[in-house]
Amino acid sequence: MSDHYTLFHNPRCSKSRAALDLLRARGLDADVMLYLDTPPDAAALRALLGKLDMTPRALLRTGEPEYRELGLGDLTLDDDALIAAMATHPKLIERPILVRGSRAVIGRPTERLLTLLD
């Protein structure tokens, strides 16, 4: 597995800050992606979902106002619609996400990140 790490990071999120602290405490460098400033496009989100082995709906932050405003709770919405919403409104993307090679994990709880650190 690759030793290259990328962290999808929101500095205002305590879990995201804890993820960065965990990496630094272990002496690991990661490319920090401030995804709210530079949102991933639909293709990047699809690739990320493949690494996470999850559906777009599972990656959504359902507590965000945009989730309700955009009607994303509608179960008839397809994956393309959900991915488009996340690309346009990156606050909808769960965080933090650590990527290493062909795998990724959401750091909730932070200890889940350890599965990528060996």
The catalytic residue positions are 13
25: CB partners within 8 A, 6+ apart: none
How many whole angstroms separate alpha carbon 57 and alpha carbon 92?
A: 10
Phi, psi of 111 (to 5 degrees): -60, -20
How many whole angstroms separate alpha carbon 47 and alpha carbon 8?
A: 14
Residue with tokens 């965080």, as numbered in its chain: 95
